[in-house]
Structure 1
Amino acid sequence: MTTDPGGPRALHIAHGDPSALRDRCQVATVRTTRPEETSYEPGAIIPAGQWRPMAEADVKAITAPRRPLDSTLVEVVRPEYQEGCELEALTRPLGDPDAVYLGQALARPNMTTTTDNYEDGRLIGLHLDNWDKLPYADKHTGRRRICLNLGPGTRFIILGAIDAQAVCRTIHPNDHSHRHPHTQDYRDYVASGRPIRILRIRLDPGEGYVAPTEYLLHDGSTEAQDQPSAAAFWLGQWPRGILPSLI
């Protein structure tokens, strides 16, 4: 595996039309949950409040460099899917024979974040996936996730602007090279008073994303939506542009 954790990667979104990006994105900051917010795990990270439109500086900050590392890039896409087709087969034409279909998840309307801990039902808030169980030096090489919004409602993907390696280096300055970056690193980072800028991307039914959820803080959301939203998920190694971009 490539071991090059030093470069600035963070949140980068592939786009060719800044106005199309702005039309579906908003930005905010985060906070940790309070004790009385018992539907969440203690110390969970959630959006801090009012979402605002993207400014020019926000667009510039997330614009991908000329030669981005595909494994850390976010894309907003329209997967080629017709209702009734076999979901397991959707990624077969995309070039990774080892891609894995993870299944579906249904989110109720008006959920600030959507992922819960299957053991006790409490929401985990913004988090880091760990399917690949990669150590610090290789964390940026993990598989990306494809998500398809099956509807009937609109949903969002929320993404943190700072990557897992940068957070791990900050929280564990003396031994980060021996660590496996984890959601707890982000929770400690926010609890210590350090800010994290987040961005949410609107996904209407039939739309989706390709994103490094092993590398960036994230979760789904149906905030302010009056319909539930089901989503399907896959993990794999896919090059940039493998699905049609919406922006």
Structure 2
Amino acid sequence: MATLSMQLSSETKELLPGVVLLQQHSQTAGLSGPRVSLSDGSCQATALTNIAASYGSGAVVPRPPWRTLAGSDVATLVGAEPIEVGQWVAIVQVPERILRHFRAIRDAGLQNKSADVVFQLAGSEEYALGLRELLAEMTARCCKPRYDGAGINTRPTGLSTCTVNSNTGLLTGMHVDTFYSRELELRALSPNRICINLGAEDRYLLFVNLPLREMRRQLEQLGVRDARINDTGRGLAWAFFESFPSYPIVRLRIAPGEAYLAPTENVVHDGSTEDKRLIDITLTILGTFAPDTFRDGL
């Protein structure tokens, strides 16, 4: 991994070089707003009284307002070279030949059906056929897809972040995945994920554009030495947000029929349904996706 030399302060509002957004295709039709926007930093969910009760203790969320990506932040985030392993995010268009198998689920989203209805449809033979075709496509491209630990998910509307702690039923806020639980130095080599928007509206991917190693380096340069900086579960992320509350969170808009690819074991992230009116539906698959895998689409 290339050494990043810039040093953050508690007031930094500009993006540092790190995780890059690859421009995989040019489609922007159907987007109701800018593709990328930045938060005004982060804060604990308890600071936002309208959502505080829905979150677990210590949970961190993006701090509004949002601003459109502009100026030097564009060059920092979009399409930088070289592309480091585990340090890139991409959007791809899912072709109709695959999406057609999920039409019943997509129609359920358009009609704002319940999560129970969506999961019932996910048990159909048509869904299974679509999934087999999708996995075969990924296998042919040497992506080593895995279906365990992933699948169809639904989320309610209006959530600043949308991942729920299954033990408490409360929202987790910004977090890093731990399916593989690799040590920090190997996090960038973890499999990544593809997440397809099967809903009827745009949704968001939220992420901090710094890999975990860089987050820890920034904390060490600031003089933070407590045990949290070695806790890749959540301690490192919470220490970073506490020390750099003005650092922006990236919000990436994903249109219906699009998918994002992201190294969710190596970046702090979450989804968001904040502007949605209809049920949020996604299909997620873990795998080993390279930057060039879907350069011409799925």
TM-score, normalised relative to structure 2: 0.72
Say yes or no: does 1:77 pair with 2:92: yes
1:173-192 alignment, distance < 5 Å? 179=230, 181-192=232-243
Q: Which one is further off, 11-20 or 129-138?
A: 11-20
> What's the % identity of the aligned pairs?
23
C-alpha contact (below 8 Å) 1:32/1:187 kept by paired residues: no
Which one has a larger percent strand, Structure 1 or Structure 2?
A: 1
Partner of residue 93, structure 1: 137
CA distance in 2, matches of 1:232, 1:197: 27
RMSD: 2.8
C-alpha contact (below 8 Å) 1:72/1:141 kept by paired residues: no
Q: Out of 115, 120, 126, which is 2:174 matched to?
A: 126
Q: Tell me the CA shift for residue 194 of structure 1.
A: 4.3
Spell out, residue by residue over 1:148-205, the C-alpha distance to the aligned partner (whole angstroms, 9 max, x if none): 00012321111112221122334466699x9452322111222235433111111121
Which amino acid in the other structure matches residue 100 of structure 1?
A: R
Distance 1:60-1:16 versus aligned 2 partners, 3 A rule:
farther
C-alpha contact (below 8 Å) 1:79/1:208 kept by paired residues: yes
CA distance in 2, matches of 1:149, 1:225: 13
Unaligned 5+ runs, structure 2: 5-16, 102-128
CA distance in 1, matches of 2:286, 2:230: 23
CA distance in 2, matches of 1:71, 1:96: 17
Distance 1:18-1:230 versus aligned 2 partners, 3 A rule:
closer
Q: Tell me the CA shift for residue 23 of structure 1.
A: 3.5
CA distance in 2, matches of 1:174, 1:125: 24
SS at match of 2:158: coil
Which amino acid in the other structure matches residue 182 of structure 1?
A: G
CA distance in 2, matches of 1:87, 1:24: 28
C-alpha contact (below 8 Å) 1:139/1:181 kept by paired residues: no
CA distance in 1, matches of 2:272, 2:198: 14
Which one has a larger percent helix, Structure 1 or Structure 2?
A: 2
Aligned length: 241
Distance 1:67-1:169 versus aligned 2 partners, 3 A rule:
closer
TM-score, normalised relative to structure 1: 0.86
C-alpha contact (below 8 Å) 1:75/1:211 kept by paired residues: yes
Distance 1:230-1:19 versus aligned 2 partners, 3 A rule:
closer
CA distance in 2, matches of 1:118, 1:190: 24
CA distance in 2, matches of 1:153, 1:44: 26
Distance 1:245-1:155 versus aligned 2 partners, 3 A rule:
farther
SS at match of 1:34: helix
Q: Which has the larger radius of gyration?
A: 2
Distance 1:90-1:180 versus aligned 2 partners, 3 A rule:
farther
C-alpha contact (below 8 Å) 2:99/2:130 kept by paired residues: no
Partner of residue 199, structure 1: 250
SS at match of 2:195: strand
CA distance in 2, matches of 1:18, 1:82: 19
Unaligned 5+ runs, structure 1: none
Distance 1:204-1:245 versus aligned 2 partners, 3 A rule:
farther
CA distance in 1, matches of 2:72, 2:250: 13
Q: Which one is further off, 76-85 or 42-51?
A: 76-85
